[in-house]
Each structure stands twice: as structure tokens, then as C-alpha cells.
Amino acid sequence: MGRQVTLFTGQWADLSLEVLAEKAAEFGYDGLELACWGDHMDVEKGATDPAYCQKQLAILEKNGLKCYSISNHLAGQLVCDLNNDSRSDMFAPAECAGDPEKKRAWAVEAMKNTARTAKNLGIKVVNGFTGSSIWHMLYSFPPVSDAMIEDGFKYFAEMWNPILDVYDECGVKFALEVHPTEIAFDIVTSKMALEAIGNREAFGFNFDPSHLHWQMVDPVRFLQEFPDKIYHVHMKDAALQLDGYSGILGSHLNFGKPNRGWDFRSLGHGGVDFEEIIRMLNQINYTGPLSVEWEDCGMDRDHGAIEACEFVKSSDFSPSNVNFDEAFDQ
């Protein structure tokens, strides 16, 4: 089919863009989904310096690669996150460390600048996170009222509508990667998020089946529910490893640890049904890139990226333009 296969660079930010672009081309990818950290894309520069954007694109072009989207998950997380512990200090400049509202103010401007950078790059989609002020209320004890949850979605709208105004001005769409710790993490909360912002066109989803699968939410059902809001697609796999010993909450065990109830896997090594996903993407007429987000603690990174590229290309197929039994009438 004509869908391009790209590699998300977030898990490769330890490498320069020069090095990664050369490797990705050798691996067989058609393009890169540039992460807005490391040296891959600086949105403060990109928002005001078209020449910088062209320089980054030239690195890709030299290796026969394209860019269809950029992603700023780290800054996006800080917009609605409580930002009240040291974990989020690493996402913002050092001078913001320890100050929740300083981190938030920086993040809001960074997400606006990400839209401006996308415009200067000539692309139409920014992927990322929103953060959530109510994620810590997931388990309703101490008791959580309906009003508390409603206030969380109102706060999301209050923080993100001004950001999305800039996306509208730039002709760019923001695609939330539906994911635990975000305002939307499943089908129900995705509907609530869309309602909170008036279902505005600038806001949609970066579909990533791995985050749905381990929650036991059907990724194909997600596509059916939001056919007009799938602005980008991540290809990533996950495996449920529930054996009666641990559960889906992870048991405070890091990825790749024995006894963890679920884990991310390289494509084709988990439980996600990618054939049914491709069939549904065809039905909803998604023609954008299929972007590999490679994560697997148990596999060599280069091996996994090569194998994942081959997996996506072999899994993708065009829809039929005929009814198979029409030949009976000939």
C-alpha cells in the first residue's frame, strides 16, 4: 500500500539526528517522526527560524527520508500534570526544577512553539501528551466525587484551548497519544476529552494500540469510535503476562522485569492484532504514515527496529476495490 513507514525518534534521542537518519535509511524506513528533544528538533528555534527547520529536513533528505509529523510528549505532559515531584524536572529547563507552575508556563509556550515549528517544517500533525490533573484519582480512594473529575476535564480545556488556538492559526492538528497519565487513556475518557473542548478540529488522536491492549481495551473498537479523529498512527506492541501472580498495574516493577503483569514488545512479539487494525484503518480511510515506536527491554534496539520496519511493510495492505464474487456474473 502507499502508507509510509516511519520511525519515532524519541527512543533514539541519545543519537544525533545525523547518525540516526543514516541508520533509519539503512533499516528501510521511509521517514522519521522527529521527537522535540535531543538534537532532533528544537521547537524554540524552529518556531522562529525557518532556516533551522530546513537544515533538519536536509539531514533527512540526504538519506532519502521524509518527515510527516513531530512529537512533543515531554512538554505536553507538563501542561496539565501536577508537576509536584522531581520526575518531571527532567522534561523542562533546569531553571524550572522544583517549581510546578514555572514548568507549566514553560510547557504551554513550548507546545505553542511546536505548532509554529510544524508550520515552518511544512507538516500538519504534532503528536504528544496533555498531562492530567486527575490521574492520581484513578482509584477512588480517598473518595473522589464526580465534581472532582469534571473539574479535571474543565482544567484540561482551560489549559489546552489557548494552545489549540495557535494550532488553528498555524493550520496544524494536535494528536494526543491516548495513554495512562493523560486526560484521555481509554475510549470513555477520550470521549470526555473531546466533549470538554467542544470537539474542535485541532484536537484528535495519535492511535497507539499498545496502550489500549494492556488495559484490555479493544484497539479496533477505538478506531471505530473515532474514525474522523485519527490524525496519526503509532505501531507498537504489548504483551499481557498475567499468570495469577501480578496484575495489570505493574506492581512497581520497571519494564522488562520478571513478574511484571504486562510489558511493551517489539512489533509482532506481543498480543496486538495488527491485521484487524490495518483492516479498520482501511475502512476509516486513514492514509497517513505508520510510525514505529520501538520499545522492548528484551531485544537489541537495532535488530528490533529493522524487524519492526519489515513487519509493518509486510502487514500493511490496500483495501479491495471490488466485491470478490462479482466475477460470478461474468
Mean pLDDT of the 141-162 span: 98
Q: In the predicted model, is pLDDT for residue 329 greater than 80? A: no
Contact 290, 230 (CB under 8 A): no
Residue range 252-273, pLDDT digits in tens: 999 999 999 999 999 999 999 9
pLDDT at 326: 65
Q: What is the mean pLDDT of the chain?
A: 96
pLDDT at 325: 61
pLDDT at 280: 98
Mean pLDDT of the 6-11 span: 98
| Amino acid identity for residue 310 in this structure | E
Residue range 203-234, pLDDT digits in tens: 999 999 999 999 999 999 999 999 999 999 99
3-class DSSP state for residue 36? coil
Q: In the predicted model, is pLDDT for residue 287 greater than 80? A: yes
Mean pLDDT of the 239-244 span: 95
Domain segments of the chain: what residues? 5-329
Name the percent of the chain lying above pLDDT 90. 96
pLDDT at 320: 82
Q: In the predicted model, is pLDDT for residue 120 greater than 90? A: yes
pTM above 0.85, yes or no: yes
Mean pLDDT of the 85-111 span: 97
Q: In the predicted model, is pLDDT for residue 324 greater than 70? A: no
Which residue from 316, 317, 318, 313 is spatially nearest to 29, judged by alpha carbons? 313
pLDDT band (50, 70, 90) for residue 140: very high
Mean pLDDT of the 42-50 span: 98
Return the CATH superfamily for domain 5-329.
Divalent-metal-dependent TIM barrel enzymes (3.20.20.150)
Name the percent of the chain lying above pLDDT 70. 97
pLDDT at 2: 79
Alpha-carbon radius of gyration of the chain: 20
Instruction: For the chain, list the strands marked E by DSSP.
Output: 5-8, 31-35, 69-71, 125-128, 173-177, 203-207, 230-235, 237-240, 262-265, 290-292
Q: Give me the phi and psi of 246, to 5 degrees please.
A: -130, 170
- Residue 87's contacts (CB-CB under 8 Å, 6 or more residues apart) are none
Instruction: Using the CB atoms, write b or e for 193-232: b if 16+ within 10 Å.
Output: bbebbeebebbbbbbbbbbbbbbebebbebbeebeebbbb
